[in-house]
């Protein structure tokens, strides 16, 4: 059954050994961020801080909610999708795609847990919540690092869910990083063109699938709320906001409402980012908060992102790769077996296993991937044949080093749209997201006959099946651990 709220999911994580409660007092000023960063770098469990310095009992912080696990790499993501913790990346992806096809519209509810408490006007003070100063050198305290930002297109009414970092500028003001590659930026640009301010809502501490989908570049202009319903197998419950014409997840821990004046900016940043480097300080849009709703004893969710691997590198690669896989395999009919984005690559190195029907296919496939919303992150794209286990980093490095000709199999594409946070971009390129792509074609040429394709020297390839079965059956007898 899908989780009704964050608290139900935390109970499931705890039952699976994927949650650590910290009852000793922890300082919001760098200590919590340092602990969560260390958890991410050691594949530890999610951590719930239950006593925060300077804050009353009941106010809590949840860190590393979907970072990778020591026992099973994608355990917390699997549990969020109501799958066994030991599910493989392929099982998670294919389950995602099956559910993804069945969109379920959200439902409005009249009574919402997120509105148990309401602050408006002079009552608003964002630092009433234990907003952490996460990284050393951050430009401020970030209330939005694992959350959902909700906006609406002024012309079509299409509602988008996204995740854009939010720094506290004052009692009722936030600064947010919004790049030209993102749908929120397009919405804001439309409001600017119309000479109108843009309303927003921010949901913090939602049930897990909502936060997960806020990291995903859903292909086309689909409602993320409907996709969330499909993934959960049950409609997402929404509540009407109090001061803006938007709806927010009804069981969220905290909901912020407000507006943006498209021409107004203030300095935001720096902040440790998903690429593993510190993102800079620049003028960014200002989010004016007109209302704050929250549950009793609210839980503020956060991630201490940095050098892979953490939430961004677990959730974004699987879900975004699944979106592209559906587009190129299921809709366009390319004979793609699987797409995997190694978490260590910070979303910018993609690997595809595929059949190769003809000589022009690798470049056609590459262009199809780069044309998708999620595929624009694939600055480096490696294609290999189906015999390579692309979820195993060792196999990927082996295939790259032995199957990609350093000249003939490399295709460089300049002036391609990508994330403004990629460190290799120049200052000028970051203004517009003017990046570049590279195809590394590690597939054997289509014209090679079966006899001409080099044979792989491995246990599964060179020995007869009966010998392999015999060796595996006697493995313990030989004295080895299974």
The candidate with the shortest Cα–Cα distance to 150, out of 233, 235, 272, 238, is 238
- Residues 450 and 455: their CA atoms lie apart, in Å, by 9
Q: Which one from 273, 311, 323, 327 is the annotated catalytic residue?
A: 273
- Residues 388 and 355: their CA atoms lie apart, in Å, by 12
Q: Provide the strand spans (E) within 147-272.
A: 147-152, 159-162, 166-170, 173-176, 198-204, 237-240, 247-249, 254-260, 265-268, 271-272
- Residues 355 and 35: their CA atoms lie apart, in Å, by 45
- Residues 258 and 289: their CA atoms lie apart, in Å, by 4
Across-strand partners of 142?
167
- Residues 401 and 268: their CA atoms lie apart, in Å, by 41
For this structure, is 273 an active site residue? yes
Rounded to the nearest 10°, the torsion over CA 384, 390, 392, 397 is: 30
Please classify residue 163 by burial: count the beta carbons closer than 10 Å to its beta carbon, then call 0-12 exposed, 13-18 middle and 19+ buried. Answer: buried
- Burial letters 75-92, b for 16+ CB under 10 A, else e: bbbbbbbbbebebebeeb
The candidate with the shortest Cα–Cα distance to 146, out of 17, 270, 312, 338, is 312
CB-based contact 369:328 (threshold 8 Å): yes
Interior CA angle at 328 toward 322 and 330, to 5°?
Answer: 80
- Residues 51 and 26: their CA atoms lie apart, in Å, by 6
CB-based contact 205:252 (threshold 8 Å): yes
Using alpha carbons, list the distances in angstroms from residue 119 to 60, 114, 293, 321.
19, 12, 6, 40
CB-based contact 319:278 (threshold 8 Å): no
- Burial letters 178-210, b for 16+ CB under 10 A, else e: bbebbbbbebbebbeeeeebbbbbbbbbbbbbb
Task: Tell how strand 237-240 and strand 107-108 pair up.
Answer: parallel
| 385: DSSP letter | -
Which residues are designated catalytic? 273
């Amino acid at each position: 059954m899908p989780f009704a709220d964050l608290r139900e999911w935390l109970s499931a994580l705890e039952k699976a050994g994927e949650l650590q409660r910290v009852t000793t007092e922890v300082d919001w000023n760098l200590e919590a961020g340092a602990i969560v960063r260390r958890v991410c770098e050691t594949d530890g469990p999610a951590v719930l801080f239950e006593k925060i310095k300077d804050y009353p009992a009941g106010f809590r912080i949840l860190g590393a909610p979907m970072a990778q696990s020591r026992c099973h790499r994608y355990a917390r993501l699997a549990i969020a999708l109501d799958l066994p913790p030991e599910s493989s990346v392929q099982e998670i992806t294919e389950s995602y795609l099956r559910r993804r096809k069945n969109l379920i519209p959200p439902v409005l509810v009249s009574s919402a847990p997120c509105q148990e408490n309401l602050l408006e006007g002079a009552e608003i003070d964002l630092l009433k919540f234990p907003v952490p100063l996460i990284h050393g050198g951050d430009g401020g305290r970030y209330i939005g690092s694992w959350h959902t930002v909700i906006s609406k297109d002024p012309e079509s009414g299409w509602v988008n869910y996204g995740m854009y970092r939010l720094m506290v500028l004052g009692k009722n003001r936030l600064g947010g990083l919004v790049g030209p590659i993102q749908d929120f930026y397009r919405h804001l640009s439309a409001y600017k063109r119309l000479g109108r301010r843009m309303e927003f809502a921010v949901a913090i501490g939602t049930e897990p699938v909502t936060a997960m989908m806020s990291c995903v570049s859903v292909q086309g202009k689909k409602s993320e709320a409907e996709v969330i319903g499909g993934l959960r197998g049950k409609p997402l419950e929404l509540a009407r906001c109090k001061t803006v014409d938007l709806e927010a997840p009804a069981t969220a821990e905290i909901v912020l409402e407000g507006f943006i004046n498209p021409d107004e900016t203030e300095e935001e940043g720096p902040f440790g980012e998903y690429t593993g480097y510190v993102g800079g300080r620049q003028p960014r849009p200002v989010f004016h908060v007109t209302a704050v709703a929250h549950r009793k004893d609210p839980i503020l969710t956060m991630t201490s992102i940095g050098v892979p691997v953490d939430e961004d590198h677990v959730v974004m690669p699987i879900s975004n790769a699944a979106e592209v896989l559906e587009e190129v395999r299921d809709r366009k009919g390319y004979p793609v077996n699987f797409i995997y984005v190694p978490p260590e690559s910070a979303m910018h190195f993609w690997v595809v296993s595929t059949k190769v029907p003809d000589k022009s296919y690798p470049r056609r496939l590459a262009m199809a991937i780069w044309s998708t919303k999620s595929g624009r992150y694939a600055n480096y794209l490696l294609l290999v044949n189906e015999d390579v286990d692309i979820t195993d980093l060792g196999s990927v490095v082996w295939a790259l080093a032995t199957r990609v000709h350093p000249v003939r199999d490399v295709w460089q594409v300049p002036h391609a749209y990508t994330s403004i946070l990629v460190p290799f971009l120049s200052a000028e390129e970051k203004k517009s997201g003017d990046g570049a792509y590279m195809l590394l074609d590690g597939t054997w040429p289509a014209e090679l006959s079966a006899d001409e394709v080099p044979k792989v020297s491995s246990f599964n390839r060179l020995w007869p099946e009966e010998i392999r079965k015999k060796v595996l059956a006697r493995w313990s007898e030989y004295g080895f651990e299974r």
